[in-house]
Structure formats: C-alpha cells, structure tokens
C-alpha cells in the first residue's frame, strides 16, 4: 500500500474501533475527518491530547468534522481509555500498523537510551472528497487543537 500525499485522495482503509465501529474511510465522504495518531493509551501526553479534542468537540462538530484517534493499542485498551475520560469520538485500533504505515507515522524513537519503533504523534486533515489537505507531524500537544481549528475556519 502506498503512503498518503498532500492534496491527493487517501486510499480507503479499514480498522476496528470503539463502540463496535468497523471504520471504513469511504463511509465518511462528505465530512471533514481529523485522524490523529498517538503513541499509547493512558499516557500523559496522549491523555492530554484526547482531553483537548474532547473539550473542543462542539467546535469541530459545527465545522462538520469527525475525529478519530489511532494507536496500536487493543480495542479493549481503547474502550477503557475512552470510557475513563469520556471521549466523545471513537478510537481506532491498528495493531497491524495498516493506517500507521499508510500515513507513515512509525518512526525509530529514543526512549531512555533504547531505540524503539513507535508512533510519531501526528494529525491529518482529510476533506469531504477524501483528499489529504493538511498534515502535522511531530505534534506538540499544547496549542495543537487551535492549529487545526485555524486551518478549518
């Protein structure tokens, strides 16, 4: 499968999600989609990022935007994470790195002196026609939601 490119149609992909969602990208034609990739459920940065999306959900809804968080965690982990923080959007499980590879977010990271493969915190904006119109890589959580909303407005 090829990688996504700016201003090009994003290939359809399927992932399992919370609330028994069987996610197909093509099912969301006609809406903006924000897909944010994060390293791990229930870690401080990932929790803060999810809470930021939650606190701004009404702004996104007014702009016809669907939000999906993606990590390699299991559906069970996602369900627990979503329930604990009351996230009003679905989390998608990508243990086989289907979307991670498509969006090229798996990077070598240095964790406490060890090199590990992990998800680089990244966000992608897909327009109602299915085209990738904006990407943020190496995201810093603070202020990130405002950057996304600025592009959408």
Catalogue the active-site residues: 46
What's the full length of the chain, in residues?
Answer: 153
Taking 3-state DSSP, the helix, strand and coil percentages for the chain, each rounded to the nearest 5, stand at 30, 35, 35
User: How far apart are the C-alpha atoms of 134 and 81, rounded to whole Å?
Assistant: 27
Q: What is the per-residue burial (b if ≥16 Cβ within 10 Å, else e) of 7-17?
A: eeebeebebbb
User: How far apart are the C-alpha atoms of 131 and 150, rounded to whole Å?
Assistant: 18
């Amino acid at each position: 499968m090829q990688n996504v490119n700016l201003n090009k149609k994003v290939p359809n992909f399927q992932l399992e999600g919370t609330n028994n969602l069987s996610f197909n990208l093509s099912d969301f034609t006609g809406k903006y989609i924000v897909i944010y990739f994060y390293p791990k459920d229930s870690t401080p940065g990932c929790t803060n990022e999810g809470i930021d999306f939650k606190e701004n959900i009404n702004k996104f809804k007014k702009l016809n935007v669907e939000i999906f968080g993606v990590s390699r965690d299991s559906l069970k982990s996602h369900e627990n994470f979503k329930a604990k923080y009351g996230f009003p959007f679905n989390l998608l499980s990508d243990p086989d790195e289907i979307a991670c590879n498509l969006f090229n977010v798996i990077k070598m990271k240095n964790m406490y002196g060890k090199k590990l493969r992990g998800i680089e915190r990244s966000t992608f904006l897909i327009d109602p026609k299915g085209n990738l119109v904006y990407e943020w890589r190496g995201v810093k959580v603070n202020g990130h939601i405002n950057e996304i909303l600025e592009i959408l407005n």
